[in-house]
A and B are shown apart, each in its own frame.
Chain A
């Protein structure tokens, strides 16, 4: 029982990271019907920026905040410069652009920072709590993720820009008629997604060790979590990410060793999707003919 709770809790911590990246994916999908395959690599690149700042002597949380700001601007720039040319093209074209972006970020990171695994500092002390039930690190990750989610919720609920972004995502044409610069709202959305990704990367780097391929597995789990929760639902993304994290941990502990863990976890989740083809909280697209 004790081990079970332990695994659940550490699964929640991993799940918090997946949930963050899943939220980033959903944010972009809601606005553009596009899955940003480069989200993981962008997060990885942000994490390298944080690592560079920390190595230069900045305190951890200072580097953290600066990285978030830089990632936000970077995400906006990516949308305005790279994605905008294909905003009216078929979806597959945009998908290929994100795949290209994935390769570019991965390759650039390898070139600038090399492929050697690097240690990434954790801001949380290395202790266990409640009789070895959970670690402070896991608790810290969950806390940071929670705070980020609350901040985002408040932004979208209570600010004018947040409202404008929601409107622009729901109904771009009507939003334009209200004077909302939809293109820039999209860019801000990408900025947020990039910042959220940076948080995910920074939280997971101490465990996975920093290297250019660090986020590829995370992206896969995040994508799965987002779909499990419902690709159009932000709450679903978070819950889906958490479920995937816990499932991955439990499958790894009780069912099968690491090699097939991913396959089994995926299959389990797909079985759930067979019964709920739009995810747990997703809404079916009702098409009027």
Chain B
């Protein structure tokens, strides 16, 4: 299958320090790719490089477009929806306002997408007029994902969606994400600490360690790979 997102020899910098040393990765169209790695491996940095939030070198191709020189807003406009680490919810706005904001870069009519989101996440419909800051962690994560989907993206980028959530909630959310991926034909790039759960859902996986890709392959193959255990636990 064709790759909707491709990174070639991408380096990223925080100030003068190089933190990504030439990453190659690809996300298949309609598929789900997961980035694994311990803390500090560079997973979030990779996502930020894709969205133009850190200084980078190398090639970043999205649906045939080069993203390196684009601003974050432009990249969102091209159809990349990024749910950042910590959700990035607009806590001062209501649930419904959060969704409306998500549709700022949308091509379709916001109202149609909103009904769709309420279909996937009924709890958001119930809480539509509440301040987003009053929602629980799981609900905020759902809101963040729904917000990202409001723009009818071609690529959904999720940064640690399971962070701080109870396992049951995480499973529920991942189930919905998988459903959305199938039904809406969205490609997904996922960064996760929870390796086993992520590998169950994903097609391809990459393992990062201190800014390098150390292993990559199909998710099934990596699920049995002892390198992952070594990378996380050190033995």
Note whether A and B form a binding pair: yes
Residues of B within 8 A of A178 (CB): 76, 101-102, 104-105, 147, 151
**Majority secondary structure, A binding face:** helix
Residues of B within 8 A of A170 (CB): 90-93
CA distance A167 to B82 in the complex (A): 16
Q: Does A171 lie at the interface of the complex (its beta carbon under 8 Å from any beta carbon of B)?
A: yes
Q: Does B19 lie at the interface of the complex (its beta carbon under 8 Å from any beta carbon of A)?
A: no
Question: Contact at A177–B51, with CB atoms within 8 Å?
Answer: yes
Question: Contact at B88–A173, with CB atoms within 8 Å?
Answer: yes
Question: Contact at B76–A164, with CB atoms within 8 Å?
Answer: no
Question: Which chain B residue shows the least CB distance to A171?
Answer: B90
Q: Does A270 lie at the interface of the complex (its beta carbon under 8 Å from any beta carbon of B)?
A: no
Taking residues whose C-beta sits less than 8 angstroms from the other chain, chain B's interface range is: 20 to 34
Question: Contact at A176–B72, with CB atoms within 8 Å?
Answer: yes
A250 smallest CB distance to B (angstroms): 35
Q: Does B225 lie at the interface of the complex (its beta carbon under 8 Å from any beta carbon of A)?
A: no
A215-260 interface (Cβ within 8 A of B)? none
A163, A167, A176: the one within 8 Å of B73 (CB):
A176
Q: Does A85 lie at the interface of the complex (its beta carbon under 8 Å from any beta carbon of B)?
A: no
A271 smallest CB distance to B (angstroms): 30
Given contacts A171-B88, A179-B151, contact A164 B101 (CB under 8 A): yes
B176 smallest CB distance to A (angstroms): 20
Q: Does A128 lie at the interface of the complex (its beta carbon under 8 Å from any beta carbon of B)?
A: no
Question: Contact at B100–A179, with CB atoms within 8 Å?
Answer: no
Question: Contact at A167–B93, with CB atoms within 8 Å?
Answer: yes
B138 smallest CB distance to A (angstroms): 19
A162-188 interface (Cβ within 8 A of B)? 163-164, 166-167, 170-171, 173-182
Question: Contact at B88–A182, with CB atoms within 8 Å?
Answer: no
Chain A interface residue count, Cβ-Cβ cutoff 8 angstroms: 17
B46 smallest CB distance to A (angstroms): 15
Q: Does A160 lie at the interface of the complex (its beta carbon under 8 Å from any beta carbon of B)?
A: yes
B74 smallest CB distance to A (angstroms): 8
Residues of A within 8 A of B76 (CB): 176-179
CA distance A179 to B151 in the complex (A): 9
CA distance A179 to B153 in the complex (A): 11
Question: Which chain B residue shows the least CB distance to A169?
Answer: B92
Residues of A within 8 A of B82 (CB): 177
Question: Contact at A167–B72, with CB atoms within 8 Å?
Answer: no
Question: Contact at A173–B53, with CB atoms within 8 Å?
Answer: yes
Q: Does B137 lie at the interface of the complex (its beta carbon under 8 Å from any beta carbon of A)?
A: no
Q: Does B77 lie at the interface of the complex (its beta carbon under 8 Å from any beta carbon of A)?
A: yes
Question: Which chain A residue shows the least CB distance to B105?
Answer: A179
Question: Contact at A177–B93, with CB atoms within 8 Å?
Answer: no
Residues of A within 8 A of B72 (CB): 176-177
Chain B 25-65 against A: per-residue CB contact (8 Å), 1 yes, 0 no? Answer: 00000000000000000000000000101000000000000
Residues of B within 8 A of A160 (CB): 100, 104
Q: Does B178 lie at the interface of the complex (its beta carbon under 8 Å from any beta carbon of A)?
A: no
B95 smallest CB distance to A (angstroms): 13
Residues of A within 8 A of B151 (CB): 178-179
A55 smallest CB distance to B (angstroms): 44
B81, B84, B101: the one within 8 Å of A163 (CB):
B101
Q: Does B89 lie at the interface of the complex (its beta carbon under 8 Å from any beta carbon of A)?
A: yes
Question: Contact at B84–A164, with CB atoms within 8 Å?
Answer: no
Q: Does B97 lie at the interface of the complex (its beta carbon under 8 Å from any beta carbon of A)?
A: yes
Question: Contact at B104–A177, with CB atoms within 8 Å?
Answer: no
CA distance A170 to B89 in the complex (A): 10
Question: Contact at A174–B90, with CB atoms within 8 Å?
Answer: yes
Residues of B within 8 A of A174 (CB): 84, 88-90
CA distance A81 to B89 in the complex (A): 31
A31 smallest CB distance to B (angstroms): 13
CA distance A178 to B100 in the complex (A): 10
Question: Contact at B104–A182, with CB atoms within 8 Å?
Answer: no
With A170-B90, A174-B90, A181-B73 given, name 10 new contacts (CB 8 A).
A163-B100, A164-B101, A164-B104, A173-B53, A177-B51, A177-B72, A177-B81, A177-B84, A179-B73, A180-B101
Task: Show the binding face of A for B, using Cβ within 8 Å.
Answer: 160, 163-164, 166-167, 170-171, 173-182
3 smallest beta-carbon distances between A and B, as pairs: A179-B105, A179-B76, A174-B88
11 pairs, CB–CB < 8 Å, chain A vs chain B: A160-B104, A163-B100, A166-B93, A170-B93, A173-B53, A174-B89, A175-B90, A176-B53, A177-B51, A177-B88, A181-B73
